[in-house]
Structure 1
């Protein structure tokens, strides 16, 4: 039974633990990604300098798969090293408690007071330098091409409550190509700087527009196979066809001569 939360903390706050986070990443997240995906491809667009900066970032992300959170850990643990946090459904975090060591904290949208605590908590985390909070404003897994994107107002609440931070839209997509395993794609969209004068009413439609644009651009990149600006950040384990080509391919070619 978790302790009663304060008004500025969710029931399950993050409990960052370097050793615990390293164990979860090395024993669970990275092996699972390498086993499941042929590769993970990233296009940061014009945001590389922002991702390397010390300014806080609120990353609001399309929620298209169970794997989305794993990609967050891969991106901000091994590529862009930041003090990163992830808002996670309370029921799931209670079940997989060890993700709290990696910076996960809970949200319960069915309880308005608890949701407000999570918003306040996320805002407090973003007061830290080089912090990044990863949030799924759609609230549930949605097919990647469903439009319009419906975003809960929590992301705008967090941003305007905090101020002086970047709001960064990130689109995720999973596609099968010529390999046994799918490709995971990450595309950063157009960031928005939030100052102290920005209001939630101004920001909410802009966030939806920017996230939709990032998701549409990622869809078009894949459909047109315009992947030159994507870099592989993780290579999966060899699939069956690659093992066959590597081991038996020379024998088959010799036999066919």
Structure 2
């Protein structure tokens, strides 16, 4: 397991770089008005994973919306290919090695226990945006078990080509889930319940986008938490 090696100076620079990249490559990035109404002090964020952009968008959101520089689980192969992600807060996982999986999950739980945000993609690999079922693995619930008072917050990303040359990204921030309230007695059962919640959230987001209900969204840069 390759741990994170966060460098605040690098994160600040990379935040500016990421903003320019997103502005250049996307026509717009918007958040659903039906999203989370107040930011948690820290959380385990779980996201659907359909694009290379997901990691960069998550890093950008963490700083912009939550004022954090959290931790992000990343494939070991990707970490070795892009080692600078360690400086942003990424830590690795090698799913071919059970002991490494456990070390990575323990590391994530430790980060969450210290009041940091932890971001994970329960699908593990990128899957087509329209793939159903989403195919959540249950590893993220190990972290939730170790830190049951930290909320689990589902976030959905929906990419779309509308009436513009560049794609659009729509984001939905779900309501926090408390581990003890999740239906199921085993991790596998709870993972199924959370996957159903995330699927419903993603499908509702898709419905708004496809129906062009643009008044249901706020541009990312204009998002403000209610007072």
TM-score (ref. length: structure 1): 0.80
Structure 2 SS opposite 1:48: coil
1:152 aligns with 2:141: no
Tell me what 2:212 maps to. 225
1:208 corresponding residue in structure 2: 195
Kindly provide the CA deviation profile for residues 67-90 of structure 1, in whole angstroms up to 9, marking residues without a partner as x.
001111221112221241111111
Give the number of equivalent residue pairs. 220
Q: Is the Cα contact below 8 Å between 1:57 and 1:166 reproduced in 2? A: yes
Check whether the contact 1:123–1:162 (CA below 8 A) recurs between aligned residues.
Answer: yes
Cα RMSD for the two superposed structures: 2.0
| Cα offset, 1:25, TM superposition | 2.2
- Are 2:159 and 1:174 equivalent residues in the alignment? yes
For residues 76 and 90 of structure 1, the distance between their equivalents in structure 2, rounded to whole angstroms, comes to 22
Alignment of 1:132 with 2:136, yes or no, is: no
After TM superposition, give the deviation of residue 101 of structure 1 in Å. 1.3
Question: Unaligned stretches of 5+ in structure 1?
Answer: 1-10, 236-257
Are 2:15 and 1:25 aligned?
A: yes
What is the TM-score when the length of structure 2 is the normalising length? Answer: 0.89
194-203 vs 95-104, greater mean Cα deviation: 194-203
1:176 & 1:234 partners in 2: Cα distance?
Answer: 20
Q: 2: CA distance between counterparts of 1:45 and 1:127?
A: 29
Determine which of 174, 178, 192 is the counterpart of 2:177.
192
Looking at CA atoms only, which structure, 1 or 2, has the larger radius of gyration?
A: 1
Given that 2:69 and 2:88 are in contact with CA atoms closer than 8 Å, whether structure 1 keeps it comes out as no
Runs of 5+ unmatched residues, structure 2: 223-227
Shift of 1:199: 5.1
